[in-house]
Structure 1
Amino acid sequence: MDFPEQLKSFTARIPKLSESIFTEEATKTALVMPFLSILGYNVFDPTEVIPEFTADHGTKKGEKVDYAVCLNNQPEILIECKALGSDLNNNQASQLFRYYSVTNARVGVLTNGVKYRFFSDLDSPNKMDAKPFYEVDMLNLREKDVNELKRFTKEVFDPNDLTSIAISLKYTNEIIQILQDELNSPSDEFVKFFARHVYNGQITKNVLEKFRYIVKDARNQFINEKINSRLKMAMSETKPEEKVVEADSEDEPENDDGIFTTVEEWEGFYIVRAILRSITDANRVNLRDTKSYCGVLFDNSNRKPICRLRFNSKQKYLGIFDENKKEQKIPINDLSEIYDHADVLKKTVEFYDSA
């Protein structure tokens, strides 16, 4: 398997592995070392991956960082591991901060086996930055993450190119976060920027509030049109297949009036598709939106519900089904929690596929 396939295969196993991981040592063995192996480093060669790497720092003698990854006999990547589920904050990174300044390492990595935070010294030479230049969540892996992680594989990693890579990643991700925050909750400055381009009158408080709703609505229309455009393009590139549509009295009648599929609902749908990709063709997993929920169906049949994405209220719910098609609504706070129910979703599809 090539790197993307290895990485995706590994991340698909993480939820199951996590059930048996309770300590920091287990996190290293089950999650961190396999990840380093996928990156191409020989974890069994102590000249390439040094466990319990020691570098004295001032009055702190004999302190160890969990791993040092070496290239040309020089430590280039320092890795500090915490137990699975641990919060990754600056206190947890304290050893990395100390070690970074007394070695020639170019990258510091703080991880709990699922989340990885990559640090460098962009703000001040030889002093590790307080903020990571890149973060990745293995349970919410995006296509762009696969490409970025490939930069750190043994085959292509070049310490001399790190500064330009880190700068690009850091500021790109920060700008994306600002845009995301503004789109979710537009600030006065953001709303005024658009209002001044289309409104000639004085922007009073009332005008500002009206434009806040207009900006949100324009955002929704823009995103929806982009998604629909990409879906139509994708569909035009594949041969149309006959769809099976069956009635189900439990489902609401299809009606496009007032139905808007949100970005979160699309994201949830693609997470479900990603989970099921290992056991079925992704094209057999379909989305059908209603006013109350987004239904994810097998073979586009109402009689074969895989799950329901109930994201229309403040508290989100994932609806999963037993063999009698009885729905259980599970509260979720983050879309990544859908992965926690991967086994149930797969079992549901396997039941339909074998019937």
Structure 2
Amino acid sequence: MDFKDSIYQLSNRVEKLKDSICTEEATKNAFIMPFINSLGYDVFNPLEVVPEMTCDIGTKKGEKVDYAIMKDGSPILLIECKHWTQNLTLNDNQLLRYFHVSKAKFGLLTNGIVYKFYTDLIEPNIMDKKPFLEIDITDIKDNQIEELKKFHKSYFDIDRILSSASELKYTGELKTLLAAEFSNPNPEFVKYFAKQVYDSIITAKLLEEFTDLTKRSIASYINDLISERLKSAMQTEDAEAKDITVISEEQQDSKIITTEEEIESYMVVKAILRSVTDVSRIVYRDAQTYFAILFDNNNRKPICRMYFNGNKKYIATFDENKKETKNEISSLDDIYNYSKELIDIISIYDKKQEE
């Protein structure tokens, strides 16, 4: 099961069980522990997840944070939990105090349904009072899953998360402000646009008229955007349908069918190798029994092969002697476990080319 599927499965679980969850402890067991598990961490391994981790704060001794996710012996994510019916407020919250005395760079406040992720964008070592990422697990969007995936054990990278945290935080706040203005524009917002189209003084009466005009103009513009997008999408679908027909005919002749899963595996390999080579040099060729990913479009430079046609999935890697080693994988995420082998073979090809 890939990461997205596991999150959607958890979403369905929460919807079904929440009304029967009566305590905070039950919330942890039914919702939050499965969430941590979906991030790739073993909740029963104290080297990865420490429950009730003690955080001594000044004269306060023995205070505990509900969970601390660990890496190399240090906490990287502190998690404070509430009952699923509780509102999540950070005022005088323990998480603020824990963050200050911990090495962790991220804090998570959750009731098992809403997940609020915090860091220290404004002042170093002082947790921001506003989250940079907020997710409702029962109404999660694909783009949020991609951001959440950055916290997965296989992909966790502090710098990568921080690089997007600022943008996430401020775009989220701006979207909220825009939504409020679009539904009920304030006088300053209306005046800004009214002055662009009306040359005289904006009186109170005119301001009232322009408020209504602004609301209708925004609604009309959004409708026009949606119509254009739908029109463009329909045209794209028509073009793709024609392409698919041609491809299908070719595949019927060749008995080769390139699946969506194979294409996704190719994208994963490109993501792994992006830091060491120009991804335009990485191409794929499909065959009846395997899906090959090549360097420089050269059959003599195989990067790896995917065997997805049977009941089990395999990735085959290559060494400097072109010896193929097949490794069973349970999901596409497991491809990341072979990053070293993929990077090494690129280095070998580049070195031979220089020689």
TM surpasses 0.5: yes
* Structure 2 residue ranges without an equivalent (≥5): 239-355
Question: Distance between the aligned counterparts of 2:39 and 2:232, measured in 1?
Answer: 34
SS at match of 1:195: helix
Q: Does 1:213 align with 2:222?
A: no
Q: How many residues align?
A: 239
Question: Distance between the aligned counterparts of 2:142 and 2:160, measured in 1?
Answer: 22
What's the counterpart of residue 38 of structure 1? 38
Q: Deviations over 1:143-162 (max 9, x none)?
A: 22112111211121212334
SS at match of 2:116: strand
Q: What amino acid does structure 1 have at the position aligned with 2:23?
A: T
TM-score under structure 1 length normalisation: 0.64
Q: Structure 1 residue 229: deviation in Å? A: 2.6
Question: Distance between the aligned counterparts of 1:211 and 1:119, measured in 2?
Answer: 40
SS at match of 1:51: strand
Question: Distance between the aligned counterparts of 2:85 and 2:234, measured in 1?
Answer: 40
SS at match of 1:182: helix
Q: What amino acid does structure 2 have at the position aligned with 1:53?
A: M
Q: What amino acid does structure 2 have at the position aligned with 1:163?
A: L
Q: Structure 1 residue 43: deviation in Å? A: 1.2
What's the counterpart of residue 85 of structure 1? 85
Range moving further from structure 2, 205-214 or 139-148:
139-148
Q: What amino acid does structure 2 have at the position aligned with 1:180?
A: A
Question: Distance between the aligned counterparts of 1:33 and 1:213, measured in 2?
Answer: 49
What's the counterpart of residue 47 of structure 1? 47
Q: Structure 1 residue 90: deviation in Å? A: 2.0
TM-score under structure 2 length normalisation: 0.64
Equivalent pair of 2:56/2:62 in contact (CA under 8 Å): yes
Range moving further from structure 2, 67-76 or 9-18:
9-18
Q: Does 1:28 align with 2:32?
A: no
Q: CA RMSD in A?
A: 1.7
Q: What amino acid does structure 2 have at the position aligned with 1:81?
A: C
Question: Distance between the aligned counterparts of 2:2 and 2:59, measured in 1?
Answer: 45
Question: Distance between the aligned counterparts of 1:98 and 1:189, measured in 2?
Answer: 39
Question: Distance between the aligned counterparts of 1:138 and 1:118, measured in 2?
Answer: 13
Q: Deviations over 1:202-249 (max 9, x none)?
A: 11111111111111101111111222233333444557xxxxxxxxxx
Q: What amino acid does structure 1 have at the position aligned with 2:13?
A: R
SS at match of 1:155: coil
What's the counterpart of residue 107 of structure 2? 108
What's the counterpart of residue 274 of structure 1? none
SS at match of 1:68: strand
Q: What amino acid does structure 2 have at the position aligned with 1:60?
A: K
Is the helix fraction higher in 1 or 2? 2
Range moving further from structure 2, 150-159 or 44-53:
150-159
Question: Distance between the aligned counterparts of 2:161 and 2:60, measured in 1?
Answer: 29
SS at match of 2:127: coil
Equivalent pair of 2:150/2:161 in contact (CA under 8 Å): no
Q: Deviations over 1:84-118 (max 9, x none)?
A: 11010124x62111111111000011000000111
Percent identity for Structure 1 against Structure 2: 47
Q: What amino acid does structure 2 have at the position aligned with 1:72?
A: D
Q: What amino acid does structure 2 have at the position aligned with 1:2?
A: D
Matches within 5 A, 1:114-125: 114-125=113-124
Larger of the two Rg values belongs to structure: 2
SS at match of 1:76: strand
Q: What amino acid does structure 1 have at the position aligned with 2:164?
A: I
Question: Distance between the aligned counterparts of 1:133 and 1:6, measured in 2?
Answer: 23
Matches within 5 A, 1:139-158: 139-158=138-157
Q: Does 1:232 align with 2:231?
A: yes
What's the counterpart of residue 265 of structure 1? none
What's the counterpart of residue 17 of structure 2? 17
Equivalent pair of 2:107/2:118 in contact (CA under 8 Å): yes
Q: Deviations over 1:285-336 (max 9, x none)?
A: xxxxxxxxxxxxxxxxxxxxxxxxxxxxxxxxxxxxxxxxxxxxxxxxxxxx
Question: Distance between the aligned counterparts of 1:144 and 1:78, measured in 2?
Answer: 23
Q: What amino acid does structure 2 have at the position aligned with 1:47?
A: L
SS at match of 1:135: strand
